[in-house]
Amino acid sequence: MQKVLIFGATSAIAQATAKYFAHDGCHLFLVGRDTDKLQMVADDLRVHGAEQVDYVVQDLNEFSKHDLLIEQAEQDMQGIDAVLIAHGTLDSQQECQDNYAATEQTLRNNFLSIVSLLTPLANYFEQQRHGCIAVISSVAGDRGRQSNYIYGAAKGGLSVFLQGLRNRLAASHVCVLTVKPGLVDTPMTRDFKKGALWSTPEQVGRGIYQAMKKRKNEVYLPSFWWVIMKIIKSIPESIFKRLKL
């Protein structure tokens, strides 16, 4: 993995993952929407050993820019070996319930923008016949719960999309990795009360890097979330619907 393209590169989890690629001496191409933050992340990755770090400032909700963005990354690095898609937003469930516009925005941020990116990227990798596509989905997409089913629906849709894509790209030897973090202490979860189930972006970042190296299909991070979700998914719907979750 010498040439790595990262969307949402200023995300806490993406930063922690990128340090490992930098350490390996990769060429990194970062996409984010805040210049100052991108500059700080790029400096850090250079000292960490990245061969070269380029970045582009782009709001990923402008879908029409996606094709160009990927072309530019491909040209700058002269190829793409791996992609990490990390951007996302955790919007207020209440606001989404009150107002479809907010729901649509959540679906755009967490599902459609990624589908839009993955359409040209999938074709690129399919042709290239090697590489790795890693996307951060969430345990929230494994089962709908009243407290965040809009975000959950976006992530659930994303997980299904990635399953299909993995199936399609298997023939081209392209790895498609679905990352399902549990509760991670990042800006996204700033206002949540933290407890024993929470992990750090560093733990999750290491897990993503290792899973990409091992060309895994799906990972829960930290791995105990696999057990928790197994249990949650096994509760019959007739009982589940009455739980306060």
Partner 1 sequence: MTQQFESWGRFPRVSQTVKTIRWRHEILPLDNKSNILPYGLGRSYGDVCLNDNGLLLHTRQLNRFISFDEDTGLLRCEAGVSFAEILQHFVPRGWFLPTTPGTKYVTVGGAIANDVHGKNHHRAGTFGQHITQFELVTSDGQRHICSPQNKTEYYNATIGGLGLTGLITWAEFHLRPIHHRAIHQQMVKFANLEDFFQLSAESDEKYEYTMAWVDCLAQGDNVGRGIFFRGNHVAKDQVKELIPNWQPPLVQKLPEVLRTMPINLPSFALNSLTVKAFNFLLYHKQRIPIIEEFVDYEPFFYPLDSILEWKRLYGTNGFLQYQFVVPYEDHQVIRKILQTIAKSGLSSFLAVLKTFGELESPGLLSFPRKGVTLALDFPIKGEKTFLLLEQLDDMVQEAGGAVYPCKDARLSPRHFKAYYPQWEEFAQYTDSRFSSSFWRRVTRNVT
Ligand X SMILES: NC(=O)c1ccc[n+]([C@@H]2O[C@H](COP(=O)([O-])OP(=O)(O)OC[C@H]3O[C@@H](n4cnc5c(N)ncnc54)[C@H](OP(=O)(O)O)[C@@H]3O)[C@@H](O)[C@H]2O)c1
Residues in contact with ligand X by CB under 6 A are: 8, 10-13, 32-34, 37, 59-61, 86-89, 109, 136, 138, 181, 183-184, 186-189, 201
d(CA 51, CA 62): 29
Supply the minimum distance, in Å, between the C-beta of residue 245 and partner 1: 21
Q: Per CB under 8 A, does 154 bind partner 1?
A: no
> Whose CA is closest to 181, among 29, 16, 32?
16
Nearest approach, Cβ of residue 22 and partner 1 (Å): 10
Footprint (CB under 8 A) of partner 1, residues 114-133: none
Residue 62 interacting with partner 1 (CB under 8 A): no
Binding flag, residue 24, partner 1 (CB under 8 A): no
Give the interface segment with partner 1, choosing from 37-45, 61-69, 92-100, 163-171 (CB under 8 A).
Answer: 37-45
68 lies in the site for partner 1, by CB under 8 A:
no
**Residue 138 binding: pick among partner 1, ligand X, none (C-beta 5-8 Å cut-off by kind):** ligand X
**C-alpha to C-alpha distances, 138 to 94, 108, 148, nearest whole angstrom:** 20, 16, 12
End-to-end alpha carbon distance in the chain: 40
To partner 1, the closest distance from the beta carbon of 47 in angstroms equals 4
Number of helices (H), then strands (E), belonging to the chain: the values are: 10, 9
Q: Based on CB atoms, which residue is closest to ligand X, 131 or 201?
A: 201
Residue whose Cβ sits closest to ligand X: 88
Cα separation of 59 and 197, whole Å?
32
41 sits near partner 1 (criterion: CB under 8 A) = yes
| Contact partner, 188, from ligand X, partner 1, none, Cβ < 5-8 Å per class | ligand X
C-alpha distances out from residue 226 to 28, 47, 104, 170, 202, Å: 31, 35, 29, 23, 19
CA 142 to centroid of chain Cα atoms: 15
CB of 198 to partner 1, least distance (A): 4
**Residue pair 155/115 in contact by the 8 Å Cβ criterion:** no
Question: Which residues, at least 6 apart from 50, have a Cβ–Cβ distance to it below 8 Å?
Answer: 21, 22, 25, 26, 27, 28
What residue ranges bind partner 1 (CB under 8 A)?
Answer: 12, 23, 36-37, 40-41, 43-44, 47-49, 185, 187, 190, 194-196, 198-200
